[in-house]
Chains A and B, each alone.
Chain A
């Protein structure tokens, strides 16, 4: 089953490779991994999307907790939570019809066009991964030049929070 695990870890060089090294050394799946410093500059927040049986997920959380650089951890999956991913898509738009159609699709998906050149648009879109997938499907008529996805970030709804 797919799980989203969020962790706070020491914002130190090497911390990221300890986490990614753990996944490769123990043969765990890793679907996406995002990381950035938090409002507390000594801490980074990482979101890992992984999958496996209950037993494997239990091992993953235990092994992550065992890493000295991991300060706190939460498996968001059993909690009500929000997950978001951001995507930037560069599409080729050569004529007015194409430009109009791209704009219309972007509006339907509540995205933004953030860069315009003679023959290209860069469209920014945020949402659940499946929404981003649908948008790419909807864009099938356009020559897509580049797709950049951020990987999933997640946060629990309500009172549940991952903090020190």
Chain B
């Protein structure tokens, strides 16, 4: 606001809202205006500390805020209006909930006296979002607004992070109150565990150091807990093989020899075989998701399991673990590194060497091989070239499907927060808005979006946002004219009955990009892939849409079919 009111003067709820965000250090809000939030937009208009990014659909706002948070260590913030504004946001909120993204979403609501009246643009936003938020609030009195916002940021960013929604009726934004922002907040019902139990840590270390066939299995909790440095130190000190989940890629450098690739349904042979044969499993910041475990009855049959996680409810939820440690991953790993030298037993190097020989045998299967001499562009080749040409250091977002798996398999992430995808909810359409958020968090970085012709159309309208804010995102559209992952399952499990998986009547993506004011390219020959990516990366200030016409029949390998164990992979 141009004039800062005196401390004791009452200001409107809308102004309080803006002041709270400023106090939280919020720099970017993704949103879309509407009737219920007009007072808030007016207050945003009269200040210049917080940038508001106008998306083209509320789903895009939430995903952009997620991309912003996932690519950085900050909380994402989004603002939508009541009714359809809120319902459009639900997919994004559910996505953030599944992947534990710290997010505060503000929704406008009809005035308090109309709540429950089926008023224009009224929905029970708190009710609709309840199952897919970490917590939500309805603010009924302007005097509670500042404290509620403080609580929202605290809950969203502490413990296991997640989305928090604050529903604000329009009249609350017009009423006045004295602004006071609490410096700290205490909630008697919310005290997330931080430090791990020292006794458990020692017990776990004893088991870890006595392992003959150890395996580290780490996930998104390492990224969210900013623990990749500690994890790297811990893993190198142990000399054990490590695998990452889809959400955990970049938590440990992919180019390191100890990294055996991603695990799970489309993980590497060596990672899944290593898991299956392991005698000690060290699970860190993971939740034993069904895409990782395969058939739970056959999961890690020989392993004693140590599980480190900030969320007690993740412990023994799907798989019974032997030594749980509840707390933040980072300080626990630091303590383990410190304690390790004081332990009486150390890993037996001969046994470990034998285990590594076995793993190298599995690795030698080269499970990610594909036909490199194909006259048709192979999607894997595009991702590999992208990795080469960006030095493995780009921010890469993806949508959901085959291209997502190829991006995860073939772009070796050496750093955390570089890989931004929808793992839990598997939301098609996230790729472009994720990239927008990442580009706002890192204005000078190379941000790329690996997508497919089906996914990209689910939030294609955001190309307009990208033009308005000059976001030089590089989109790699792996266009196989199919819902590739659906087609693959239909080929494998439905005798090739391709029900509704063919993408007919596709737009001309080059013209589409151009009509949005961007650069479009169509690439049809394998020999042109490298040149096109180079050219696109050289266009530093333009969004480039690269439409790669790829092999329609390519499948994602290896694969654990549903119901199978980790040692029952289909290889190419």
Contacts and interface: CB of A to CB of B under 8 A. Distances in A.
B187 interface: yes
B184 interface: no
A14 B138 contact: yes
Contacts of A21: 130-131
A66 B313 CA distance: 8
Interface string A1-37: 0000000011001100110010001000000000000
B127 interface: yes
A164 interface: yes
Interface stretch (A55-63, A91-99, A113-121, A130-138): A55-63
A15 to B, nearest CB: 10
B159 to A, nearest CB: 9
Contact of B317 (A9, A13, A59, A164): A59
Contacts of A13: 138
B313 A17 contact: no
A124 interface: no
Given A66-B311, A68-B155, A58 B189 contact: no
B313 A68 contact: no
A55 B316 contact: yes
Contacts of A63: 313
Contact of B130 (A9, A10, A14, A59): A14
A65 interface: yes
Contacts of A122: none
A68 B134 contact: yes
A48 interface: no
Interface in B97-126: 126
Nearest to B130: A21
Contact of A62 (B126, B127, B138, B312): B312
Contact of A10 (B138, B189, B311, B313): B189
Contacts of B155: 68
Contacts of A164: 188
A70 B130 contact: no
B357 interface: no
A85 interface: no
Contacts of B312: 62, 65-66
A134 to B, nearest CB: 39
Nearest to A26: B131
Interface in B448-481: none
A61 B189 CA distance: 14
A60 to B, nearest CB: 10
Interface string B207-235: 00000000000000000000000000000
A66 B155 CA distance: 12
Interface string B136-160: 0010000000000000000100000
A25 B316 CA distance: 19
Interface of A: 9-10, 13-14, 17-18, 21, 25, 55, 58-59, 62-63, 65-66, 68-71, 164
Nearest 3 CB-CB pairings of A with B: A62-B313, A71-B189, A68-B135
11 contacts: A14-B130, A17-B127, A21-B131, A55-B316, A59-B317, A62-B315, A63-B313, A66-B311, A68-B189, A71-B189, A164-B188
